[in-house]
Structure 1
């Protein structure tokens, strides 16, 4: 538990915030689940828990005001706040997010800092986007990680944080391995917005905060290309819509997902899923009507006539 005083809106005595904690001898990750409270770490708490750590606040939803050292700042989704060791204070409502505690030397030595650091990192692109994704996955897979795994991932996070703060544009091969899944996520978002019709490799790279060359290298190392990834994500979105929304026509789904040719869409869809879009749509409609076994069997669009 993070040593601090907590005050809740309902004033429940002795209540504690909903924190999920992962901890090793070097690192701690607090996952905040819908916390609405005021927390203050005073000099007394520092004496009780004098560990020399930076705290990286990563809000996912909600808002909070943070004070670290002599600096005040608003914590909002998309921006990480790095708090100085020692005294800190924050308050907010409906706050969900993470607090990562890192040894001071993990930040100060690589950056050659002579004084405590208080800074912010943009989590929407570049190193920041990778940091946000890694922290969320670290919390998500907490039950499957060994202590060594946890420490290794926290060390990787410390390296990325230093690169973000120092403006280092280079990525290691392992770090490039994080980029392809993020590109896939961003493609998926654009497809659901406008079919990704205006998306291209240069625009996607800029959106992620990297050069086109870096993105291309990441995709090559992941065994794919921009065109293949975009086609696969469009097919996945089309399959999702045809499986869930029985009122959309196949032509509408094809167009909404960014396919310029209905014929190509049908051929690619059948090659991927073993049935045509229309066959999947008919199964979806039959299942909604309660036809027994409809969800698990393929229905021919033109059933044979019964022989008299």
Structure 2
């Protein structure tokens, strides 16, 4: 374990050994996995953090963190008043913070940069950088837990619908994948679509079915088999497509193609 911090209130530690660490005092701890996996144990429950996810641990949380070998993680200790003055959090760890996009990625990049440049930073510079990191981290956590406003939800819905239209043929398209790419939490996307009476899964299926219907009606696709059409639009098989298509439109893909050709 290498201590990259100084004598100030902020600390930045690079943990590289396979060890269990009690997190019971000394300020909030921001966990940033770099490689491998951290196993967080609290009250008989487990939470796993890997690269791309982070956690914020309150000072009084009865928690143990175990690093799975080989594992490396940066642990930033933040003075209690720096967080409590900005957030009203329960005495439980905040886990699963998305550090791959949006504000979470900015925070993670800054923590890594401060760790890499620690030897070139004076104590005031180190503390100033940690102040900015803490401010942005609190904004990221607050945005994750604060219910979005109706205006913001409408904006999220519009962006999500456009994203689904543009990526409907991607077989890996899911609500989680959308959230990561767009920089929002999955909960924000779910709330936005809930207002419109749908879910990420239903929206993706609807857009794919509409795309299939349009292609079945298009003479340019008349020689494309139903199986190839299914795979090209994100369905696992022709039977999966046919079942969903009939449920939605009351007719099979082959019947629609036959009727269109007859006209």
TM-score, length-scaled by structure 2: 0.50
Task: Return 70-79 or 138-147, whichever deviates more.
Answer: 70-79
Question: CA offsets, 1:73-108, max 9 Å, x none?
Answer: 112111001112144312221111200011122122
Greater RCO structure (CA 8 Å; 6+ sep): 2
* Aligned twin of 1:88: 63
CA RMSD in angstroms comes to: 2.4
**Does the 8 A contact of 1:69 with 1:83 survive in 2?**
no
Inter-partner Cα distance in structure 1 for 2:72 and 2:113: 15
Instruction: Quote the Cα distance in structure 1 between the aligned partners of 2:87 and 2:52.
Output: 23
The number of residues matched between the two structures is: 146
CA distance in 2, matches of 1:105, 1:71: 28
Divergent runs of 4+, >2 A = 18-21, 67-72, 206-210
Deviations 1:56-87 (A, max 9, x none): 11001111211257753112111001112144
Give the whole-Å Cα distance in 1 for the aligned partners of 2:43 and 2:138: 20
Query: Do structure 1's residue 24 and structure 2's residue 22 form an aligned pair?
Result: no
Pairwise CA distance, 1:21: 2.9
Q: Does residue 160 of the first structure (1) align with residue 136 of the second (2)?
A: yes
Whole-angstrom distance in 1 between the partners of 2:110 and 2:119: 15
**Paired residues for 1:1-308 under 5 Å:** 18-33=1-16, 35=17, 37-41=18-22, 50-51=25-26, 53-68=27-42, 72-86=46-60, 87-91=62-66, 92-113=68-89, 115-120=90-95, 121-167=97-143, 207=181, 209=183
Q: Structure 2: 5+ residue runs without aligned partners?
A: 145-179, 185-263
Unaligned runs of 5+ in 1: 1-17, 169-205, 211-308
TM-score after normalising by structure 1? 0.43
CA distance in 2, matches of 1:38, 1:107: 27
